């Protein structure tokens, strides 16, 4: 998948695409269905499949906060969108200029003049432009005037429930319900980051851990999880391992910044500096303050056994 970070840089080979437009935080089942509709139209017309999203998320621009709400940082989002078969991703900067761009200018300057879209697929609640003045109706009218089709895709709902949304997934993860989040996402939610050097205390008790900070993503419930971790090399999977992980501040040692510390089963090697994607599969227990290193070692053994058991039968609901 080709990625463009500015609409003015797009060569002719990547114009004329059928483009799914949205924020796509999480690339959940609803997003996948919307992109799938764009893919269907693109295949019918023999056109490229494109996805247009903004970086950073508009909410990060308008309401900046030290606590990130994002389910998918850019790198993760791009990987998930590529897995949906997109040929090109237009990851446009959401900055002060974009924030005040009128809806009509966005259509004419970005969609028509720069991207030359062959068609656009948006959700029914899509809004765009300065003060969110544009919506699906405005886009459809302008598309008719400018010669590109607009498909308005109805939201996807979970069985017998309200529509699938990123906010519902965030709530599930913050409450320690990764299975519910996976049901809405259609994939396990993962933390992706580089492995950092830690205090190496786990190594001394026979349970070396890969330490990762969650700088640009949502922080799930503190506690111990059954996980699957994939080593990423050159943006490609290079091995997947079951494991157990603790996310939090380690009450025994009272660290200042929450860390995800993952012990991989049956792994021998050096992970420092490597990129790791850790999927949260099952929540095992909250964090606990233990009496000492011997108690910690015994508890990790118990948690490891519980994680192995959970992972044997784990499946996305």
Q: For each of the domains in the chain, give its residue range(s) and CATH number, in order of start.
A: 2-153 (3.40.50.620), 189-313 (2.40.30.30)
Over the stretch 206-261, which tens digit does the pLDDT of each residue have?
Answer: 688 899 998 889 999 999 999 999 998 887 888 999 999 999 987 555 666 789 99
What pLDDT was estimated at residue 256?
67
Instruction: Identify the three-state secondary structure at position 243.
Output: strand
Band (198; pLDDT cuts 50, 70, 90):
low
Q: What percent of the chain has pLDDT over 70?
A: 94
pLDDT top residue among 9 and 171: 171
Q: Which residues contact 174 (CB under 8 A, 6 or more apart)?
A: 218, 219, 220, 221
Quote the pTM value: 0.90
Least trusted range by pLDDT, from 19-28, 45-54, 205-214, 251-260:
251-260
Give the per-residue pLDDT at 148.
97
By residue count, the chain amounts to: 317
| Start-end of H helices in 91-241 | 96-99, 103-105, 136-146, 166-174, 178-185, 201-204
pLDDT, position 33 = 95
Q: Which two tokens stand for residue 125?
A: 């609640």
What pLDDT score does 9 carry?
A: 81
Q: 127 vs 204, which has greater pLDDT?
A: 127
Measured CA to CA in angstroms, residue 52 lies from 42, 76, 221, 256, 315 at distances of 15, 15, 31, 37, 31
pLDDT at res. 252: 57
| Spatial distance between the Cα atoms of 277 and 188, rounded to a whole number of angstroms | 11
SS3 83: helix
Residue in the structure block whose two tokens are 């990060």: 60
Between CA 95 and CA 5 the distance in angstroms is 12
Q: Which positions ≥6 away from 149 have C-beta within 8 Å? A: 41, 118, 119, 120, 143
What gap in Å lies between CA 150 and CA 146, rounded to an integer? 11
| Cα–Cα dist 134/144, whole Å | 15
Place 205 in a pLDDT band, splitting at 50, 70 and 90: low
CA distance 275 to 193: 6
163 has a pLDDT exceeding 90: no
């Amino acid at each position: 998948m080709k990625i463009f970070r500015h609409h003015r840089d797009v060569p002719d080979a990547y114009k004329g695409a059928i483009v799914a437009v949205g924020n796509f935080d999480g690339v959940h089942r609803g997003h996948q269905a919307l992109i799938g509709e764009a893919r269907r139209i693109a295949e019918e017309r023999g056109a490229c499949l494109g996805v247009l999203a903004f970086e950073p998320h508009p909410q990060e621009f308008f309401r900046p906060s030290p606590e990130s709400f994002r389910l998918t940082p850019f790198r993760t989002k791009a990987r998930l969108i590529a897995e949906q078969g997109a040929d090109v991703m237009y990851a446009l900067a959401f900055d002060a200029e974009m924030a005040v761009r009128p809806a009509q200018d966005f259509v004419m300057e970005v969609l028509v003049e720069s991207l030359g879209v062959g068609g656009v697929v948006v959700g029914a609640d899509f809004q765009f432009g300065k003060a969110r003045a544009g919506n699906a109706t405005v886009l459809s009218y302008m598309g008719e005037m400018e010669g590109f089709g607009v498909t308005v895709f109805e939201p996807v709902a979970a069985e017998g429930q309200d529509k699938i949304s990123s906010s519902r997934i965030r709530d599930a993860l913050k409450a320690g319900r990764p299975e519910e989040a996976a049901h809405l996402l259609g994939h396990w939610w993962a933390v992706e980051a580089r492995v950092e050097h830690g205090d190496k205390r786990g190594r001394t008790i026979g349970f070396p851990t890969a330490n990762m900070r969650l700088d640009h993503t949502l922080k799930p419930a503190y506690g111990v999880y059954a996980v699957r971790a994939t080593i990423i090399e050159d943006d490609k999977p290079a091995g997947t391992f079951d494991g157990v992980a603790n996310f939090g501040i380690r009450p025994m040692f009272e660290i200042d910044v929450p860390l995800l510390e993952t012990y991989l089963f049956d792994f021998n090697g050096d992970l420092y500096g490597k990129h790791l994607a850790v999927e949260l599969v099952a929540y095992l227990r909250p964090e606990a303050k233990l009496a000492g290193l011997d108690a910690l070692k015994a508890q990790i053994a118990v948690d490891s056994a519980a994680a192995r058991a959970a992972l044997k039968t784990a499946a996305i609901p």
